[in-house]
Amino acid sequence: MIMLHINGSAHKLHIPADMPLLWVLRDVLGMTGTKFGCGMGLCGACTIHIDGQPTRACITPASAAAGKQITTIEAIGATPAGKKIQLAWLALDVPQCGYCQSGQIMSASALLAGNRKPTDADIDNAMAGNICRCGTYVRVRAAIKQAAGVTTTGVPDIVTGTEALK
């Protein structure tokens, strides 16, 4: 038996200790907001937070999260940084197909929670592991800056999300 604390709730689970957290979330608990992409820690689609740190759920065994606080996309909007990120995502209409976006938002929220005024380099470092096949990277960066209140003067097309960037 493993006790996992997910989004503020305790779950007593009879699962193998080495079951990936992604499996636990999606298949055992039915929390499908966290996505399966590569299953190898390479794409970022499955990003969750463990004690506030962005973590790839597909390569993290359930036992590694026992006694820690797990946060998923379903609850990130309840955190101050996550709320700002989600509002900016909506304002700039960031997603295209949407598949990678849970992971993008989780990584961006962790960045903003630890760094209130991230630079371009900070954003690049934090988001480098989140792959988007639709190429929403420009809007992702603009939304992180908007959430942080960092000026984006000089790139008004990015800020306003004009048709050319949708």
* Amino acid code (one letter) for 58: C
Q: CB-wise, 36 or 147, nearer to ligand FES?
A: 36
Q: How far is the CB of 137 from ligand FES (least distance, A)?
A: 9
Q: How far is the CB of 103 from ligand FES (least distance, A)?
A: 7
Q: Are 105 and 76 in contact (CB under 8 A)?
A: yes
In whole angstroms, give the CA distance from residue 22 to residue 32.
Answer: 9
The residue written with tokens 């959430």 in the block is: 147
Residue spans of beta strands (DSSP E) within 7-163: 9-13, 47-50, 53-56, 69-71
Q: CB-wise, 69 or 96, nearer to ligand FES?
A: 96
Q: How far is the CB of 20 from ligand FES (least distance, A)?
A: 9
Q: How far is the CB of 6 from ligand FES (least distance, A)?
A: 17
Q: CB-wise, 95 or 118, nearer to ligand FES?
A: 95
> Rg of the chain over CA atoms, in angstroms?
16
Site residues for ligand FES per CB under 6 A: 36-39, 41-46, 56, 58, 95-101, 132-134, 136
Closest CA to 101 of 37, 7, 12: 37
Q: CB-wise, 61 or 78, nearer to ligand FES?
A: 61
